[in-house]
């Protein structure tokens, strides 16, 4: 009996590990999913020389001394150890040159949306985001990334959540001087009853 019980436990552990590794870069916490910039859920476009990667920055790479635990998981623990921990940066301009897309699954239901703004390499005051949802509808808005540091931000003018979030887009077309930096880090969708739910990973604010 003890041997059978041990085998059952081992089988359950294998299933759990497979479940974590199969998500690649979409990290799920209950009814929330986080889409990282280090894997197959994130696509970059535009000249490669204008992209810079920083491997010690962003939500998937909690700095020493921070303890960003969410529902028993922390940024430095599984399943993050199978994901590239990084953020990307490009510079602003008057026309679109470099941009990126987070592929967010097209799941049914209603979701709150968040973007993580890292503490560095995000100085633009007009980061232009687009959320596609409900089979192709678009919601366009800007975020003053320079006003935030290591926090999840959601659109301030949007009081309801989105149905069937498909993608998030972020562009370098901010119409600012070329010295401004646009930070590309994790995005999140959360299906909890409130945007301030404890089950939406991370500290959140409205822009």
Q: What is the pLDDT of residues 119-157, one digit of tens each?
A: 899 999 999 999 999 998 999 999 999 999 888 888 866
Buried b (16+ CB within 10 A) or exposed e, 55-69: eebbbbbbeeeeebe
Q: What per-residue confidence (pLDDT) applies to 142? A: 93
Tokens of 180: 């401004």
Average pLDDT over residues 23-36: 60
11-20, 33-42, 101-110, 198-207: range with highest mean pLDDT: 101-110
Q: What per-residue confidence (pLDDT) applies to 86? A: 76
Q: What is the CATH number of the domain that holds 117?
A: 2.60.120
Structural domain harbouring 104: 2-206
Based on the structure, what is the number of domains in the chain? 1
* Tens of pLDDT, residues 51-94: 999 877 777 655 444 444 443 333 333 344 444 567 899 999 88
Q: How far apart are alpha carbons 122 and 11 in whole angstroms? A: 44
Q: What per-residue confidence (pLDDT) applies to 84? A: 54
Average pLDDT over residues 18-36: 54
Task: Classify residue 50 by burial, with Cβ atoms within 10 Å: 0-12, 13-18, 19+.
Answer: middle
């Amino acid at each position: 009996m003890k041997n059978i019980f041990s085998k059952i436990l081992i089988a359950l552990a294998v299933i759990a590990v497979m479940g974590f590794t199969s998500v690649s870069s979409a990290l799920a916490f209950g009814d929330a999913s986080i889409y990282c910039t280090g894997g197959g859920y994130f696509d970059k476009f535009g000249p490669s020389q204008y992209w810079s990667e920083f491997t010690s920055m962003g939500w998937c790479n909690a700095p020493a001394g921070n303890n960003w635990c969410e529902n028993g998981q922390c940024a430095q623990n599984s399943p993050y150890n199978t994901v590239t921990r990084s953020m990307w940066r490009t510079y602003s301009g008057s026309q679109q040159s470099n941009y990126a897309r987070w592929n967010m699954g097209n799941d049914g239901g209603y979701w709150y949306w968040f973007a993580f703004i890292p503490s560095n390499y995000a100085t633009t005051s007009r980061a232009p985001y687009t959320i596609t949802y409900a089979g192709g509808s678009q919601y366009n808005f800007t975020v003053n990334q320079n006003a935030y540091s290591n926090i999840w931000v959601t659109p301030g003018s949007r009081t309801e959540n989105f149905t069937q979030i498909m993608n998030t887009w972020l562009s370098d077309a901010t119409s600012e001087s070329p010295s401004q930096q646009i930070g590309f880090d994790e995005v999140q969708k959360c299906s909890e009853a409130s945007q301030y739910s404890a089950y939406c990973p991370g500290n959140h604010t409205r822009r």
